Structure 1
């Protein structure tokens, strides 16, 4: 028998150090193989042998090659001694220890709903726990880390990203389930293992969030488009840029979040999806033929013409953010361009409305209408704009119900006056025309429960076309003339009416300078589109806004159902008073002013029900000292 064919039994009884053989001992005698399970050691080139097992059955022996260091001495007895123990005996003890460890590891794997020992997620040890306890341990261990902004580096630029803004989330339960379900190498159970967290992110939102930084680090694409100058199409050709793709951004964040202090996103060349050749094709096959002739539209209520100009205004040939041009006819632009033509074949629906008559709230009935299906018309137009002849389509006229009916308004509970507020102005000023104009526009507006009323949103841009004129406004700390000046007086009046109705203040901004005709702190300015005044109807009832004007005043009254018995204001004293300075201006649009003091002040809105205070809100503002403006 050669050393490569040795067969030895593993001794399972404890052995003390003094019982171990020394270098002077005689070679050990193998213990009969039928007493204990055996481990066969053979040469690499030898075939697998069958040896008797304890139960008498023959099984393949484990293939463990015998590898000796070059020049190693093999002592008598058939094995090299290690730490005074002949190699076969040492191997037996080591195998016994290994089996014990592996057995324990396999036991850990067999535990149901339990995370294997020494398992880590993001540096947090969750091993040996039930999935429920491991989930709690991971949540506690992470703390606020999942809510903290992450730092992103792109080239030489860095930025921070709010995880919530981009839908970046860690699924803790799924992560723990992954850790519990996976079957690790038993050796890893000895030294520990790390399980990757289950992370998800909205790739599109993430790419949009880092796009400005990517543009600084690289450069943006030139997006292709075709626009019309009158009836002539003008092309903008695409140019490749350098930035971060959605996939690269998502991969960098999901692999590095909570593990790296800084997420690095690679810059790559990004090419618009519509090429220069595609743009030329769109010019020749879509844009130019589209405006070559008008289109006739036939309906059951008559026919009308879509002019070449209307086609040019409504045909959209602009790319998306990826540089892809998808031709379409914009339905809103088409309807706007055909306003006069549609008026000849349509009947506009009328919503039910609330009006005041002799101090009583009355509901005016709604009325249905008949409108051209311009959404479908826009799609049908696109299919024939490339044709030289046969440029006509049929369009359906559909019955349309009013958006708001009598029953809708009746359910809103608009039955009594809940607040009113009046401000005064001097007669004969240009600004008065603007105040009266905006009051007419807002009169009769209904704010339903939960809705937010935006003055800018309701009136849109206040321009000359709507009947507004130039009047003084405060701009950059100076009085100048601008279209719509004076609107802030109506804004203050509307704000106070909503304030004393107990409605929620969403946004308002007092004037830079104190104006004595308004209540200090409880007032508001406005400037389209950057400054707005918004309030929310936080009651269960609808609110009707009623406005009225005289030659020297404007009044806003709110009608609804009272929520509070009373709403009042308590003002604190003025503090930190500053004096006006004289300023000489040479601006062409300069408006002189006598000036006024500056100060800070607080005000509290106090709301009471059944005679007791139920809510109190603090408002604070600081007014700058208004300079004494002298126009040179």
Structure 2
């Protein structure tokens, strides 16, 4: 093996040492030259901080990004755009850590020294994250984003089919969304968050199949229903509101009837074949309530009829579209035994109001009283005058009469029904039942007791109370046409009720109005005032008091003619014949 000359070996060693020495000198020089400034040409989110010391870089970065730090994070999921509050999501910019990561510190690392000497580049911001807040923000965003797929379906508007479009669902990926949301912070734009789509079980093709195979023949011809020997021809428009097609687990649309809606539509047509059940009730004989026994009836089995209809609806001809309805026993809602236990045995309250004759009052008061007469409230049941009497229409037996609207008399269907409301309210008041809703007239009408009266209007203004006793309450009305209305309540007497009334206070005067417009109704002026009525109820030795506060507005005195010209030197007042009568309506 050859040996190097000792001189050559020595020269090579000196040369290597020189290289190391030069490298060390460069390294030390680079360290000294680099200092603690950010490498030149360095930027964060487009903000240039190269060559600045740490403090200056932090100040510049904070100022330039202060709006972006607090700005909502815009993201998209599918075609929809959403925003997230970074503070609520626990995301903040760590400026100091960002500047340090940009190289604003001395380092003996050759790579770091080379970066200082050759220049920096774009540096990612350092984002601090509160994991719990970020997870909560993602959950909140998912509540907005997540939507179940929508299956195609078919309902009906009359006989016209109405299709529901099949739509895919979307679910935010809650595992991957936090990282994506963090990456979107400070970046601008509206990056898409990871989400999964879910296809509906029933698509457009299945909707079209159902339209062709079932819906079109279903509405093409009438159906004949045979019930108890009666043949009833039913047009498709009678049953389609109760018909719909919805998707099953197999992805096919299945027709079905809402039997309650079907019964409501078809029972009036089948009434000759049915005999309704009769609930137990009471009638008043010789001043005492007598129990009227319940009675079973018979009715079409709507569940079976619905199934039979579904079988024949796809048939093409009328001869094939015939079903025979089966009948079932109809049971009363209130049996004789149940009614006997209600304790309806004696009068617990009675109240009478009087009214001046008017043809519309006779009609409307009589009709409303007729509809209320015989109402039986079981324990816990609520009375609603609007529900029992219904809308005041010509078809429902009501006439046009005088009402109060906006503090003035006006003409409208149902005028006078508030006489029934007031009488019923007072009967309830002295029976000690629980008041739920009542509203006095806007101004005082002198034939009603102050603070103990009620007005009603369809459909919003109602008289409601609850039978809060453990007994039944049977309501009787007695109408003396053109004179009076009496309401009696029958139950078991166990509450003693008395009433007291304050003096009138807070008097308010009325104004005089001249109105020559069409439809004007003259009225006398009535002062406004406040009054308080206290109801004292004693039950099982315990007494409780309830105060009903009423504020009556003044009613203007209204003359249905032009305002007279000012007279000179005359102080004459309108004659008695030209002055409208005192308030007297409903």
Tell whether the structures are fold-level matches, with TM greater than 0.5: yes
Q: Which residue of 1 aligns with 2:426?
A: 496
Picking from 556, 559, 573, the partner of 1:627 is: 556
Q: Which residue of 2 aligns with 1:400?
A: 330
Q: Which residue of 2 aligns with 1:447?
A: 377
CA distance in 1, matches of 2:199, 2:410: 47
The answer as to whether partners of 2:227 and 2:270 remain within 8 angstroms in 1 is no
CA distance in 2, matches of 1:270, 1:584: 70
* Offset at residue 452 of structure 1 (A): 1.4
CA distance in 2, matches of 1:345, 1:358: 37
**Any idea what SS the aligned residue of 2:368 has?**
helix
Per the alignment, do residues 304 and 429 of structure 1 end up closer, same or farther by CA in structure 2, a change over 3 Å counting?
closer
* Offset at residue 225 of structure 1 (A): 6.5
Q: Deviations over 1:78-103 (max 9, x none)?
A: xxxxxxxxxxxxxxxxxxxxxxxxxx
CA distance in 2, matches of 1:306, 1:590: 49
1:382 aligns with 2:313: no
Per the alignment, do residues 236 and 296 of structure 1 end up closer, same or farther by CA in structure 2, a change over 3 Å counting?
closer
1:554 aligns with 2:482: no
For structure 2, the 5+ residue unaligned runs are 1-80, 86-129, 145-149, 179-192, 562-586
Question: What is the Cα-based RMSD across aligned positions, in Å?
Answer: 4.4
The answer as to whether partners of 1:415 and 1:561 remain within 8 angstroms in 2 is yes
TM-score between the two structures when normalised by the length of structure 1? 0.56
1:370 aligns with 2:295: no
Q: Which residue of 1 aligns with 2:274?
A: 346
**Any idea what SS the aligned residue of 2:298 has?**
strand
* Larger RCO, structure (CA 8 Å, separation 6 or more): 2
Q: Which residue of 1 aligns with 2:547?
A: 618
* Offset at residue 485 of structure 1 (A): 1.8
* Offset at residue 235 of structure 1 (A): 4.2
Per the alignment, do residues 283 and 590 of structure 1 end up closer, same or farther by CA in structure 2, a change over 3 Å counting?
farther
CA distance in 2, matches of 1:271, 1:477: 59
1:470 aligns with 2:393: no
* Offset at residue 479 of structure 1 (A): 2.5
* Offset at residue 451 of structure 1 (A): 1.4
Q: Which residue of 2 aligns with 1:591?
A: 521
CA distance in 2, matches of 1:157, 1:618: 52
The answer as to whether partners of 2:377 and 2:467 remain within 8 angstroms in 1 is yes
The answer as to whether partners of 1:290 and 1:311 remain within 8 angstroms in 2 is no
The answer as to whether partners of 2:278 and 2:297 remain within 8 angstroms in 1 is yes
* Paired residues for 1:411-426 under 5 Å: 411-426=341-356
* Offset at residue 282 of structure 1 (A): 5.1
* Offset at residue 366 of structure 1 (A): 1.7
CA distance in 2, matches of 1:241, 1:434: 56
The answer as to whether partners of 1:227 and 1:317 remain within 8 angstroms in 2 is no
TM-score between the two structures when normalised by the length of structure 2? 0.60
CA distance in 2, matches of 1:333, 1:546: 33
1:456 aligns with 2:400: no
1:360 aligns with 2:309: no
Q: Deviations over 1:261-292 (max 9, x none)?
A: xxxxx9x9999997766665554444432221
Q: Which residue of 1 aligns with 2:459?
A: 529
For structure 1, the 5+ residue unaligned runs are 1-153, 159-192, 215-220, 253-265
Per the alignment, do residues 470 and 276 of structure 1 end up closer, same or farther by CA in structure 2, a change over 3 Å counting?
farther
Per the alignment, do residues 271 and 459 of structure 1 end up closer, same or farther by CA in structure 2, a change over 3 Å counting?
farther
CA distance in 1, matches of 2:322, 2:295: 32
Q: Which residue of 1 aligns with 2:263?
A: 335
Q: Which residue of 2 aligns with 1:19?
A: none
